[in-house]
Amino acid sequence: MKLQKIAWCSYSTQLLNAAVHALSSHNSSNSSSPASVVATIPYYRLYKTQTEFFRSLDYRFEGDTSSFLNISEAGKVIEFVTSPNNPDGKLNKAVLHGPNASAIYDRVYYWPHFTAIPNPADDDLMLFSLSKLTGHAGSRFGWAVIKNESVYQKMTEYMSSSSMGVSRDAQLRALKLINVVLETRGKQIFEFGYHTMRNRWESLSKILSLSNRFSLQKLGPRYCTYFQKIRGPSPAYAWVKCEREEDTDCYEVLKAANITGRSGSQFSAPDRYVRLSLIRSQDDFDILIQRLTQLVSEERQQQNHANNFLQLKKPLMSTLRRGLVY
């Protein structure tokens, strides 16, 4: 691994725009047009809303990465790569390569409780957050690992102009928390976190496997270099799809059963999808499971009624058919 610089920040959300700012102005002397900022659908909404909010002359949000696959004619392109992805937990990789392309690796979920760690993260610009490491989202503390010195300088300049430094209280809290994590080299928190998330994923998968109406994203087991064994999926979110043709608004379908998720369009995906959070309190999760169980058992009852009706109809139909033939 190359020598890297670490920039910390009051919250990792602030780092998103700091990184876009730094990469769009990096080596920009030979380009007058704004850099295009892209992400692969489904993507975390703030990449778009934040990039658009600042209305910079240096960059512009251009949507899905796939429209930039042929980047030789495009100007500078900055790709957000979320790995594991929010909402679907996939270990995404940059799809744009070449001299005009740079990637911001959002690695806030790259911890052994949410994913197998196939290898140590070693990308040029990576973002992390305390909120997804220890759950202390309210402390608003994040950090970036950056290889390029001038990108690092631009990001720190952005942060000092926008917030005049990071709260010392938040830094002390983060330091204490990280020291506690390191006391057991992460073993205690990651073992606990992994088993909790794994159990939640298994409970949810078991219920939805009984349904034809709803399906879940497919995640397979992988070798984890941290646990040094193959382990099953344990994502932070379930990316649920409503399979019935008429269920075009999956958010509303679940809402009617008292289950509140985030609709697909919040991730620039079709509304046939909904994200359910698996990182809420145990009580919230238990209620989610209870309501989903109810919903799936109603679906199965309806299915049984329909099957019984068909079974009853069969002799009736054959009698009628016979009646017609004779």
Ligand X SMILES: Cc1ncc(COP(=O)(O)O)c(C=O)c1O
Residues forming contacts to ligand X in the complex (CB under 6 A) are 11-13, 44, 82, 86, 106, 108, 129, 131, 137, 142
CB contact at 8 A, 58 and 48: no
| Dist CA 139 CA 137 (whole Å) | 6
For ligand X, the closer CB: 137 or 182: 137
User: What is the chain's percent helix, strand, coil content, to nearest 5?
Assistant: 45, 20, 40
CB of 117 to ligand X, least distance (A): 17
For ligand X, the closer CB: 107 or 241: 107
Contacts of 46 (CB under 8 A, 6+ apart): 13, 16
| Dist CA 115 CA 89 (whole Å) | 8
For ligand X, the closer CB: 133 or 216: 133
For ligand X, the closer CB: 137 or 317: 137
Q: Which residue is closest to ligand X by CB?
A: 129
CB of 137 to ligand X, least distance (A): 5
| Dist CA 169 CA 185 (whole Å) | 24
Contacts of 73 (CB under 8 A, 6+ apart): none
239 burial (CB, 10 Å; 0-12 / 13-18 / 19+) is buried
CB of 125 to ligand X, least distance (A): 14
For ligand X, the closer CB: 207 or 261: 261
CB of 169 to ligand X, least distance (A): 16
Q: Which alpha helices (DSSP H) does 168-256 contain, by range?
A: 168-183, 187-208, 250-255
For ligand X, the closer CB: 163 or 308: 163
Strands 77-82 and 35-39, bridge-based pairing: parallel
CB of 281 to ligand X, least distance (A): 16
CB of 19 to ligand X, least distance (A): 11
Which region holds residue 225: left if phi is over 0, alpha if psi is between -120 and 50, else beta? alpha
